[in-house]
Amino acid sequence: MGAVVYETGGILVDNGWLRILGSGSPSLNRDLMGWNKDKQKGLLLVADDVLGGFFALNGGAFGQATLGKIYYLAPDNLEWEPLDRGYSDFLVFCFSGHLEKFYDGLRWKGWQAEVAQLNGTQGISCVPFLFTKEGKDLNKVSRKPVPIMELWGLHNDFRQQLGIH
């Protein structure tokens, strides 16, 4: 992780669909430490995707047994899902051609053109929301660019309202 932060401004993967945080740059103008300021204790957000899926390193929020492992806050169910891999293995996963399978069902026809229009502080808000029955077909939802911070807040607000822990 130190090498990513020290040597990169961040890494855009899969045409910018996935953003791994570094020290910040014009294309990804968020840095790892600044982005984590005032966020949830016991986890370190290390990456996110355009749909407001967030990848976090467990620093105790998910228990001691999985300390140092990556979790994914999935936008289609608002659950923190364990990925059973540490940070280095997560990077290997990101660059080994596994993302298409990982995001199966979360992409729509022409997603590349929409994602290319985003900057590093934006994501795509979908209405109906992806965690609803009506939001499952991404070819039929309304999509618009929004600040990624808005998606972080929205997903956490919904988690609280729905009693998801």
pLDDT digits (tens, 9 = 90+) for 11-41: 889 989 999 998 888 888 888 988 999 888 9
C-alpha 111/C-alpha 139 separation (Å) is 10
Phi, psi of 149 (to 5 degrees): -60, -35
pTM of the model: 0.94
Q: What tokens does 42 get?
A: 């016991």
Q: What tokens does 152 get?
A: 């972080």
Q: Which amino acid is at 59?
A: G
Q: What tokens does 51 get?
A: 């749909």
Q: Nearest-CA neighbor of 147 among 122, 130, 129, 165?
A: 122
Q: Nearest-CA neighbor of 87 among 63, 62, 49, 56?
A: 56
Domain range list for the chain: 2-162
Task: Note the pLDDT of residue 5.
Answer: 76
